[in-house]
Structure 1
Amino acid sequence: MRLLHTSDWHVGRTFHGRDLLEDQRSVLAAIAELVAEHRVDAVLIAGDLYDRAVPSADAIAVLTEAFSAIRAAGAQIVASAGNHDSGPRLGAFSDFLAAGGLHLRADPQRLVEPVLLPDAAAPEVACYPVPYLEPEVVRRRLGLPGPASHQAVMSVALQHIREDFGRRKREHPELHGVAMAHAFVVGASPAGSERSIAVGGVESVGAEVFDGLDYVALGHLHGAQQVSPQLRYSGSPLAYSFNEAGHRKSVTLVELAAGRSMRISELPLPVPRPLVELTGTLQELLAGYGEYTEHYLSARLTDPVRPLEPMRRLQQKFPYAVTLSWQPPEPTAHTVGVDVARAGITDVELVHTFIAECRGSTATATEAGLIDQALALARAGGGE
């Protein structure tokens, strides 16, 4: 049995205001190609299929296209809701969709209803898709007193799953137990682009919660990583912050054989548009770095004086420049936080101080003339 573990597609997400749907369409099509190439039996998507609870029509179209391509490649799909998804919306018509090989799980009340792969008649894998469990929402269903924690609700959920899997394994001794969970497991490292799932409490859960299963497909953290031999994050298929610029995005291929034999490998994904961070003066960036003109760019400018219209000028060469910051080599000596009354500073001096603080240089003669005119007009109108 070959399973392909992925998560955190975040279809519909933007990147510093840029639409990512075409990038997402491209990388999800690549996942379908890997399914066909490696003869994958089932694709496990551990939460956050969409980036928002109410996705746009275009986002729905991209996800539908991806599902169709994966099914055409020969794999069933098992997907669970993440903290970005709307469980009720994602789980609508799930029973009807399951007949076509698309198993969407978003209801916490179905924790002990595994997806049996390849089918119920000859099960090799019992897959338990655990949707994102918001503690205060699900604690009563799980019989927990309040206030509940992520650790508490996940512990109870996995205990129920272990009990159900134990019963099934007694009937089918070669059965493998696989769980999917959208959570922050202790020992893992966030990438920086995840939305916190903590609401008034600690968001992490201990890895020991998942003991007793052959493999746990984790979602929520965007960097691919191993928590233990059986617990892994596949990471997101695209980089969603410049903190992930160095990530090697991939999906995880899990091959289960007789007994508890398991082989795991990472299959790299294409990068539709790489990310790069560049540091230097505006002129240095404009004069070089031609190899990065098609990258998403984060620029850190080191000009002693803040350049005029830096983003517009950058985007003439780097059309995908999306963010910049100004970090002069030496901090300015000016201070705007002046007590005007005690210092006896005039309004003209205050404006000039403000300009110097913001820009790192004093006003030019032309600008000084405009400041004088503006203040004169303000006084003539009775302003202070």
Structure 2
Amino acid sequence: MRILHTSDWHIGRTFHGHATLDALRGVLETLTAQVRENEVDVVVVAGDVFDSATPAAACYTLLSDTLRALADTGAQVIVTSGNHDSAARLGFQAGLLRDGIHVLTDPSRIGDPVTVSDAFGPVQFYGIPFLEPALLRAQWPGVRSQAEVLGRAMDIVRGDLAVRGGRSVAIAHCFAAGVEPTPHLERDIQQGGLDVVPLSVFEGVDYVALGHIHGRQQLAPRVRYAGAPLHYSFGEGDKPRGSWLIDLDAEGVADATWLALPVPRRLVTLRGPFEDLLTGAAHADAEDAWVCVEYTDALPARDPLRRLQERFPHCAKVVHAPEVLAAGDVRSYAQRVRAARSDAELVDAFLSHVRDGQGTTDAERELLRDVLDERVRAEALA
């Protein structure tokens, strides 16, 4: 059996204020073509289908179009909810979907797998939606963390699998790591608001398709993250985009292949003096990319984003990151203000605060002295 593992589509998410819906549509069309070309039997989407619990109408349209296109390839499609999704909204029409599309969002149905068979027999697909411990305490008394609710869910999976038999795939949305959580400190170890779930929780199944982490990761040969199909932050810029193609034979996972997806617009981070970034020939190849600029001048530039967008139309982020911060005075702003003995020193304290340690220059001190002297003369004549 051939399985395509994808996750974290985040339909409706913006990139620094820019819509991503059209870019994501193109990427998902490529993913659908890969499903057809590779004769995939089952497509697994491991949570965070939408970016919001209240997606706009256009987001539903893209999801419906994509699910139909995937089902038209002949593959079964299994979708679970993530922490960004509203399980109720994602799952409300599950009973109305066409054959071959399964949207699993109900924690009470974790023990009811989607069964798909091949020449070696059945494969049980257990969809575990994102589980919020606070909402499950009445149903599962005593659970307080992601590790505990995932542990309870996997106990249900293993119990059902012992009766049904066959090979198995678990689908979950969490932060999993190969460590055991420290007692009473689980909530201090988080990624994106989710507690750490030890890999031992997922023992007993042939493959674990995880979502939540936006970069490709292999935690074990049978436990993997596919990551997101688009780059949603500059911090993800060096992470490949794609999905895992998993082959199951009679014994379990036989092979895993990475299928790369296209990057509609690459992400580039540029660092250097502001004027060099505005005019330097070395940066010409970034003019059609999403650009994050870190300019290293000692003082902030005037209107930096607008000026940079004249050269880099897709400049989305600007950070003032001085190469060397002024050394010396380590007092807080409040301490410097309290210590000021004159108006000139007060202004110097303010400028030093907003300029990362750079106080008034010689020219500014001379101008400031003239202004303050003029004020004294005016007050004397009043």
TM category, shorter:
0.7 to 0.9
> Distance in 2 between the 1:323 and 1:178 partners?
40
Aligned counterpart for 1:263 among listed residues 244, 255, 279? 255
Q: Does 1:330 align with 2:328?
A: no
Matches of 1:351 and 1:285, distance apart in 2: 31
Matches within 5 A, 1:75-94: 75-94=75-94
Question: Which residue identity does 2:150 align to in structure 1?
Answer: M
Contact (CA 8 Å) 1:41, 1:118: kept in 2 or not? no
**Which of 141, 153, 160 is the matching residue for 1:164?**
160
Amino acid at match of 1:150: Q
CA distance in 2, matches of 1:274, 1:86: 30
Q: Matched residues in 1 for 2:77 and 2:133: separation?
A: 27
Q: Which residue of 2 aligns with 1:103?
A: 102
Match of 2:108, SS state, is helix
Find 1:222's aligned residue among 210, 214, 217.
214
What amino acid does structure 2 have at the position aligned with 1:155?
Answer: G
The equivalent of 1:278 in structure 2 is: 270
Q: Displacement of 1:350 after TM fit?
A: 2.4
Report if the CA contact (8 A) 2:7-2:211 is conserved. Answer: yes
Separation (CA, whole Å) in 2 of partners of 1:367 and 1:276: 42
Shift of 1:56: 1.0
Question: Structure 1, residues 206-241: CA drift from partner, whole Å, max 9, x if none?
Answer: 111111111110111111111111111111111222
Task: Give the superposition deviation at 1:19.
Answer: 1.3
Partner of 1:176: 167
Which whole-Å deviations, capped at 9, do the CAs of 1:77-134 have from their partners, x for residues lacking one?
A: 100010000011111121231x422100111000011011159xx9631100000011
Gaps of 5+ in 1: 170-174, 189-193
SS of the residue corresponding to residue 252 of structure 2 reads coil
Cα distance change of structure 1 residues 367 and 240 upon mapping to structure 2, 3 Å threshold:
farther
Alignment of 1:232-251 (within 5 A): 232-251=224-243
Q: Kindly tell me: are residues 13 and 139 of structure 1, through their superposed partners in 2, closer, same or farther at Cα, counting changes over 3 Å?
A: same
Residue segments in structure 2 that go unaligned for 5+ positions in a row = 180-189
Kindly state the Cα deviation for residue 353 of structure 1 after the two structures are TM-superposed.
Answer: 4.0
Q: After alignment, is 245-254 or 283-292 more displaced? A: 283-292
Q: Which residue of 2 aligns with 1:26?
A: 26
Show the 5 A alignment for 1:343-362: 343-346=340-343, 348-359=344-355, 360=358, 362=360
| Maintained 8 Å contact 1:332/1:357 | no
Deviations 1:317-361 (A, max 9, x none): 111111121122332367744454543221x54235423543447
SS of residue in 2 equivalent to 1:32: helix
Paired letter, 1:149: S
Match of 2:150 among 140, 154, 159: 154
> What is the aligned partner in structure 1 of residue 245 from structure 2?
253
Match of 1:132 in 2: 130
- Whole-angstrom CA distance in 2 between matches of 1:274 and 1:311: 19
Displacement of 1:30 after TM fit? 1.1
1:366 Cα deviation from its structure 2 partner: 12
Q: Over aligned residues, Cα RMSD in angstroms?
A: 2.8
- In the superposition, the TM-score normalised over structure 1's length comes to 0.85
Does the 8 Å contact 1:305/1:361 carry over to 2?
no
Distance in 1, Cα, partners of 2:271 & 2:337: 37
One-letter amino acid of the structure 2 residue matched with residue 136 of structure 1: A
Change (3 A) 1:356 1:368: farther
Instruction: State the SS of the aligned residue for 1:124.
Output: strand
Q: Which residue does the alignment assign to 1:311?
A: 305
Map 1:45-84; keep pairs closer than 5 Å: 45-84=45-84
Identity of aligned residues (%): 37
Distance 1:283 1:44 in 2: 48
How far the C-alpha of 1:251 sits from its partner, in A, is 0.3
Cα distance in 1 between the residues matched to 2:167 and 2:129: 20
Structure 1 CA distance, aligned partners of 2:314 and 2:359? 29
Specify the SS of the correspondent of 1:61. helix
Instruction: After TM superposition, give the deviation of residue 160 of structure 1 in Å.
Output: 1.1
Q: For this pair of structures, how many residues does the alignment match?
A: 358
